[in-house]
Structure 1
Amino acid sequence: MTYTEASMDALRHRGDELADSVVATLFERGEVGQFNTLLRYVSTAGQRLPDGLPDVARDYLEATSTPPPWVDWAEMEKARLFFIDNNVHISTALSFASMPACYVVPHVAKLLSATHGLQYPSKRMAETGQFTVYLMQPDAFEAGSRFIPAAQKVRLLHASIRHHLKREDRWDTATLGVPICQEDMIGGQMFFSLLVLDSLHRLGIHMSTEGAQAYFYAWRVVGAILGVDQDTVPKTLDEARQFLDLYMLRHMGPSPEGAHLTRQLIDLYEEIVPATFFDPIVSALIRYLIGDTCADWLDVPRTTWDTVVKAVPSLLGVLETIEDTSPLGAWALDRLGHLTTVLELSSLTRGRVMHYAIPEQLKADFGVSCAVPRTHRWTPPPATVG
């Protein structure tokens, strides 16, 4: 598919009809509180829905309880193995590239500042990290898994934000389009898929083309479950590059909200990084992964570590050499990566399961294994927009 200014403009005025209808009905009937209370008990796929659940919510949960019929399960298994092999690197890319990239789109940063929960970046990161871990479990789409219920709730959360902003006339739809519109949902999908792959490439992580494609495919499945229109979403990495290039050129820039959210994010990461001596590496890594222009827009401070962090790919290359040449080393590094990811997620969630709920009001002050020969590695699609 070829993306143009006109086609992107059309996507800005479309939300998610199914989820939007459900949320509108719940608010109209005054059933949001009841729904949120009962939905806390719905945490795993296949469990019996609680009595007293509003009919419109029950119908929605039943209609969205299974993945799309077109899912290629062999490809999803490749994606899961890719995640296992690169979990700590993917977590790094999500934290230090994908999240700041969201903030470099001013209207997205403004929207992220509009709810109580997103005022606290630890909650946002915990939800994103937990959501990704749920997705990459071998039973993610089977009875007993937590992924499908989490996706169903996130989809309604997005619809509720659209509902509040439009109902309270706190969003310039004529200028900005529908809040969390199809263009932004696809953009978010690109941030968590293609931009992650770009960041792994920049870090010097060796990926096969097959592994990269599988990871991108998994996020296509996620997008479908979250209400992204499958007729317009990029189907290949080349289409994804075209979309992301055009999306960023259309929207990226500085904003007070983006700088504020980035400062919160940096403060959060510095709390997790051991010893204050290493704190500057947080800003340096963000700047390295998103580039100086975007980092300057977000007021990411320059530090003496900006030069040091450029050695990260070389260090990771040494570790990958150990992994490639030693089965024991590969096992040890995989376990270390798993434990690092779990520790990072635990520090954000405080050991709790994150619950997604429909906010009844917004803030008042709205302002595949990758072990392949080093001569066969994934090459990012080239830029398509001059």
Structure 2
Amino acid sequence: MTTTRTETSMDALRRTGDELADATVAALFERGEVGKFNTLMRYVSTAGAPLPEGLPDVAVDYLRATSAPPAWVDWGEMEKARLFFADNNVHISTALSFASMPACYVVPHVAKLLSATHSLKYPAKRMAETGQFTVYLMRPDAFEAGSRFVPAAQKVRLLHASIRHHLRREGRWDVDALGVPICQEDMIGGQMFFSLVVLDSLHRLGVHMSTEGAQAYFYAWRVVGAMLGVDQDAVPKDLDDARRFLDLYMVRHMGPSAEGAELTRQLIDLYEEVVPGTFFDPIVSALIRHLVGDTCADWLEVPRTAWDTVVKAVPRLLGVLEAIEDRSPLGAWALDRLGHLTTVFELSSLTRGRVMHYAIPEQFRKDYGVGTSVAPNRRWTPPAPTVGV
């Protein structure tokens, strides 16, 4: 069944948040229990662990209601997604950092919102949380007792609800003009940034992907969306519908903003610090420009560098490496191991070796103002653009 995406249907998604999480957060603030909740939730980091004594009743009800993935999950598909991630982890990390995050920044109201809390002022924390969340998701035991993914998803969902609570309560968000903060349209848009935009970026980098692997990776983020409170009647169910949604969403909202440029500058500075030395620093800006395109890069004030041309050779380099991987079991093992170590190094650099905790912010910045290993069948190619069709 083909879903019809129209301006009217998208407008309807801007008026809705997340009823369960919103009610939980509202009750915690009303009873003055947010600080107590955050303190106790630092001890809730693995699935199946006993809840700490003294946790507010409303929080206990929420945690029990959200403690399991949706009943419709296809575990075979999730295993395909895990293997796809294992084969492409360094490429996926690159796409998340240099395409998915800048895509968020190129939507002005999202960039304004990302500038809203003290914690998001620091890009290392934001990127570490995103990377850690994805690594938790792609572990073999992601949904089993002892895993860290489910508690992380529960906390992120409450974080989103708390941002909605602050902005609406303090009158710093024009709901009539912008819709509900972190509304369903934006949550689905975010899901597309971390799934379809990643796949688009891998394709642009020249990474060889099977259709099954790409579809499974997208499916895994559908499961994530369900656990983060995304309306399953409205979310795209396949990559073709994802393209229709993302094209319409970006045409409706993308553009330049001071916040988007600031967040991008912070992101570039962050990764220039991670990359040893200074000679390769310009490659960070060049990768962003290559993956998001010149128009979006100009909106985000990504500097042009001499590396802009060099980066275009990346697909050829990856093609050579993947040829080695395909022809040599030892080469495949070595490259997979290198990819794993690279991802671990990047994440450890961002987290400083610590586990990132997701907490409900009790206040916002004062200056905030908003008036695979799967057997390949055929190589995956992105769905064609749909706007104007």
- Specify the TM-score bucket, using the shorter chain as the normaliser: over 0.9
Verify: 1:369 aligned to 2:382, yes or no.
Answer: no
Return the match for 2:179 from 177, 180, 190: 177
User: Which aligned runs of 4 or more in structure 1 are off by greater than 6 angstroms?
Assistant: none
TM-score normalized with structure 1 length: 0.99
3-state SS in 2 of match to 1:186:
helix
- Name the counterpart of 1:341: 343
Q: Distance in 2 between the 1:289 and 1:74 partners? A: 31
1:34-85: CA deviations, max 9, x gaps?
1011000000000000110000000000110000000000000000000000
Verify: 1:283 aligned to 2:285, yes or no.
Answer: yes
Return the match for 2:36 from 34, 59, 79: 34
3-state SS in 1 of match to 2:279:
helix
- Name the counterpart of 1:54: 56
The Cα of 1:372 is off from its aligned counterpart by 3.7
Gaps of at least 5 residues in structure 1 are none
Q: For residue 369 of structure 1, what is the amino acid of its counterpart? A: S
Q: Distance in 1 between the 2:381 and 2:261 partners? A: 31
**Kept after mapping to 1: 8 A contact 2:80/2:374:** no
Q: Which stretch shows the higher mean deviation, 140-149 or 363-372?
A: 363-372
The Cα of 1:176 is off from its aligned counterpart by 0.6
1:95-136: CA deviations, max 9, x gaps?
000000000000000000000010000000000000000000
**Kept after mapping to 1: 8 A contact 2:211/2:380:** yes
- Name the counterpart of 2:158: 156
Q: Distance in 2 between the 1:2 and 1:138 partners? A: 36
Gaps of at least 5 residues in structure 2 are none
The Cα of 1:331 is off from its aligned counterpart by 0.1
**Kept after mapping to 1: 8 A contact 2:212/2:376:** no
**Kept after mapping to 2: 8 A contact 1:35/1:53:** yes
- Name the counterpart of 1:312: 314
3-state SS in 2 of match to 1:276:
coil
Q: Distance in 2 between the 1:207 and 1:91 partners? A: 16
Return the match for 1:104 from 100, 103, 106: 106
**Cα RMSD, aligned residues only:** 0.8
- Name the counterpart of 2:135: 133
Q: Distance in 1 between the 2:168 and 2:47 partners? A: 32
TM-score normalized with structure 2 length: 0.98
Q: Distance in 1 between the 2:144 and 2:301 partners? A: 43
Alignment of 1:21-100 (within 5 A): 21-100=23-102
- Name the counterpart of 1:190: 192
**Kept after mapping to 2: 8 A contact 1:114/1:362:** yes
Q: Distance in 2 between the 1:39 and 1:348 partners? A: 22
Verify: 1:19 aligned to 2:2, yes or no.
Answer: no
The Cα of 1:371 is off from its aligned counterpart by 6.6
Q: Distance in 2 between the 1:17 and 1:369 partners? A: 39
CA separation of 1:370/1:295 partners in 2, compared to 1, >3 Å: closer, same or farther? farther
1:222-269: CA deviations, max 9, x gaps?
000000000000000000000000000000000000000000000001
**Kept after mapping to 2: 8 A contact 1:85/1:334:** yes
